[in-house]
Amino acid sequence: MPELPEVETITKLLRPIVVSRKIIGIDILRKTTILGEPEVFVKNLVGESFTDITRVGKFLIFHLTNNKVFLSHLRMEGKYFELDEEEENTQFARVVFHLDNKKKICYDDSRCFGIMKLTDEARWRQEKEIAQLGPEPFDIDDVTFLINRTKRTSLPIKSTLLDQTLLTGLGNIYVDEVLYATKIHPLTPAKLISKDQWEDIVKESKRILKEAIKAGGSTIRSYHPGKDIDGNFQTYLHAYGHKDDDCERCHHPMRFIRVNGRGTTFCPICQIKKGLPISVGIFGLIGSGKTEVLKQFKEEGFATASSDEVVAQLYKREDIVKLVNKAFNLSFTDAVDKSVLRLHLANNPGDKKKLERLIHPYVKEEVASFIKLHSLSAVEVPLLFEARMEGMFDVLIALDADDKIRYERVISRNAATGDFLTFINQINNSKFIRNKRKADFVLTNNASHEDLRKAVKKIINTLLNRRN
């Protein structure tokens, strides 16, 4: 979605094109673009001339003679193009303004979310679309009202900053950038943001927006601010769009999650979440010590779950049994027999990925429900990244150990399945090596059980200190 810098760029681009030009005709090609009666919109504006274009938040304000005004919000994909009168309209033209200089302005909107609304100079600031907007960062000198508005909200700061009634002008891209600059985790509850942090948010918002406006905005996906015009600020983005890239400050891989449905990229080391809930994902190869770590989290008051146990319960469900039978041409009745399935996978190693694609969505759903129920939770998920569950947890812990030590542990646990489990480890080893650097904490479990407990206790204390 075009954000404040993009809309400011559009304002500057359009102003010299339309100011002093008279509208001699308007084609409404999609009536729902107009809030109100399209016929009234056309009747009131034809014959008028543009006197100025201003901006409030992400709204374009078109000022015309005789005190006429119309508001325009581009939403996801709205764009304005200047064309010669004889040229064909743009592909997704929704409203076309014909001007008195043999030019026309096409409002193009492939997603059809943009709107226009007729008003006048006396009323446009009171229109609900404008009146409900909070101040822009540029207009804030005192953050007291931000603190007062958010001191009781547990909403994540990312969602709070996207609320245009609190603060207008920051969209998804620039909120990620502001939070990265201020080292604030996007899931931190807004009520825990201190006065100093609010002042940093406002300060960095002003700086980042000014730099983005100077650069012409950001070109993201299909958005461009005008014909043959590209924003350049995307080359200066430090967080947005940098999933798995190394953080410029600490060189830890950046992490991607969704916050209330909005894609969010941040550094899990520089931007530490404060407050509850705290959810921990534990992953590693078989025999690395994940179960022991999970037990210790339970001892320290965390609600715990194991994805292996979740799978075991799923294998008892009638619908899952039917899916497995159909997928692998097997004939289980009341439940999936893991030993039989294990033998099938040993003889058909290519089916391992197929089984994961089948089962992982159900595991993910069960684990998500578990996390929601508890303020402190820890879940053992060996194939965390393969199941695409890394974004569900606040903290990731990777368990590692030497190959020989893992093998000895697996054999001592169950000699009959030891070779098969070692084979599974060999398949997953390269992925684990690639993904363990993305963890917040990496534990190398080659020493004594007591050494492991001390290391885990240190992590737990660190996490518990983040509650307030």
Token pair in block for residue 28: 């409404």
- Residue 342: what pLDDT? 86
- Residue 416: what pLDDT? 55
Q: Give the active site residue among 55, 103, 227, 262.
A: 262
Q: Give the active site residue among 5, 8, 38, 58.
A: 58
Whether residues 189 and 165 share a domain: the answer is yes
Whether residues 197 and 333 share a domain: the answer is no
Is residue 345 one of the residues assigned to a domain? yes
Looking at 81, 107, 129, the residue that finishes a domain is 129
**Distance of CA 424 to CAs 193, 339, 427, Å?**
45, 14, 5
Number of domains in the chain: 3
277 is catalytic: no
Is residue 402 one of the residues assigned to a domain? yes
- Residue 63: what pLDDT? 98
- Residue 423: what pLDDT? 56
Is residue 271 one of the residues assigned to a domain? no
Whether residues 370 and 401 share a domain: the answer is yes
Looking at 245, 266, 287, the residue that finishes a domain is 266
Domain around 10 = 4-129
Whether residues 261 and 282 share a domain: the answer is no
Is residue 218 one of the residues assigned to a domain? yes
Whether residues 155 and 189 share a domain: the answer is yes
- Residue 10: what pLDDT? 87
248 is catalytic: no
- Residue 85: what pLDDT? 96
Whether residues 194 and 94 share a domain: the answer is no
Is residue 398 one of the residues assigned to a domain? yes
Mean pLDDT by 10 residues, the chain (468 residues): 82 92 98 97 98 95 98 91 94 97 95 96 96 95 96 95 93 94 97 97 96 68 44 75 95 95 96 95 90 96 96 95 95 93 89 92 96 97 91 95 79 62 63 91 93 96 92
Whether residues 71 and 165 share a domain: the answer is no
3 is catalytic: yes
Whether residues 289 and 424 share a domain: the answer is yes
CATH number at residue 92: 3.20.190.10
55 is catalytic: no
How far apart are alpha carbons 396 and 438 in whole angstroms?
8
CATH number at residue 207: 1.10.8.50
Whether residues 351 and 458 share a domain: the answer is yes
Looking at 266, 295, 329, the residue that finishes a domain is 266
Is residue 297 one of the residues assigned to a domain? yes
